Structure 1
Amino acid sequence: MIYQPKLSILRSLLFTYSIENYDDIERESFITSKNINNNKELSELFDELTKPEFKSYDPTHRKWYIDTLQHFLNSDEDFESVFYLFDTYFDDEIIDKRQFMHVLLERLERYEAEIGEK
């Protein structure tokens, strides 16, 4: 089954960083220790917390996330709607949401390539 790109699915992918996901003090501390406006630190954050979850998804859903990010990054989408009323553990406000999503896409594509290599 092929899913159409849908911005709202990105919230589920980012739920790890939501204050509604409050069951792990170590995870919360790790999140707040990173500067999310620094590509290297943001990549480290995704590698630690998003990678294991993403790799556990079935191939169709992994493709859906990647296709959605590619689709909206190729448009003039600013991703404000993804973060609207979405409270996170991030200490800083995301300055450039498109760049944030670009880093996320790069990491997801890397994880997908790792899965393909096995």
Structure 2
Amino acid sequence: MNKKPSISIIRGLLFTYEIENTDDLEREEFISSKDINNEQELIELFEKLTKPEFLDYTKPEQEWFISSIEHYLSINDNFDAVFKKTATYFSEPVADQRKFMQTLVNCLKQYTSVSEEKSHSNLRYESE
């Protein structure tokens, strides 16, 4: 699958953090407790809330998320189309939107590589 980069799918991936997603008070409190301008806390947030959802997507969908973010980073997009149109549970505004997205894409790449390693190790185990 070679789909065009899409800001809307990036917004979709971040729906977990939007106020319109109002089904889980514990999740909302967890999000608002994190300093999203602190890279380590942002990574913890992605690990707990973005990773499980991201890993539910198919491999081509995962690649589309990653390639879309990388595309917009490569053309120096400021990601206003992602952040300015959404109200989130973040306790403060994202200070550096590009850094936020770079951290996100780094995490997504890590999730896919760990997922692939597990898949390969399961295949080896099953073939023995």
Same-fold status (TM-score > 0.5): yes
In the alignment, is residue 26 of structure 1 matched against residue 16 of structure 2?
no
Point out where structure 2 has 5 or more consecutive residues left out of the alignment.
119-128
Shift of 1:85: 2.2
Give the aligned partner of residue 52 of structure 1: 52
The residue aligned with 1:8 is 8
1:84 aligns with 84
Q: How far apart are 1:75 and its partner, in Å?
A: 1.2
Q: What amino acid is aligned across from residue 78 of structure 2 in structure 1?
A: D
Task: Give aligned pairs, total.
Answer: 118
> 2:114 & 2:73 partners in 1: Cα distance?
23
SS in 2 for 1:8: helix
Task: Give runs of aligned pairs for residues 27-42 of structure 1, distance below 5 A.
Answer: 27-42=27-42
- For 2:108, give the aligned amino acid: L
TM-score (normalizing by structure 1): 0.98
How far does residue 89 in structure 1 lie from its aligned partner after superposition? 0.2
Structure 1 unaligned blocks of 5 or more = none
Q: What stretches of structure 1 move > 6 A for 4+ residues in a row?
A: none
Between the aligned residues of both structures, percent identity stands at 47
Give me the whole-angstrom Cα distance separating, in 2, the residues matched to 1:100 and 1:108. Answer: 12
The Cα shift of 1:74 comes to: 1.0
Q: CA deviation at 1:7?
A: 1.3
In the other structure, the counterpart of 1:98 is: 98
Structure 1 equivalent of residue 117 of structure 2: 117
1:107 aligns with 2:107: yes
Could you tell me how far apart the structure 2 residues matched to 1:116 and 1:85 are?
A: 34
Q: Highest Rg: 1 or 2?
A: 2
Structure 2 counterpart of 1:40, which letter? Q
Shift of 1:70: 0.9
Paired with 2:98 and 2:76, the residues of 1 have a C-alpha distance of 9
Matched residues in 2 for 1:35 and 1:60: separation? 31
Counterpart for residue 122 of structure 2: none
> Take 1:73 and 1:41, find their aligned partners in 2: how far apart are those partners?
21
Cα offset, 1:56, TM superposition = 0.3
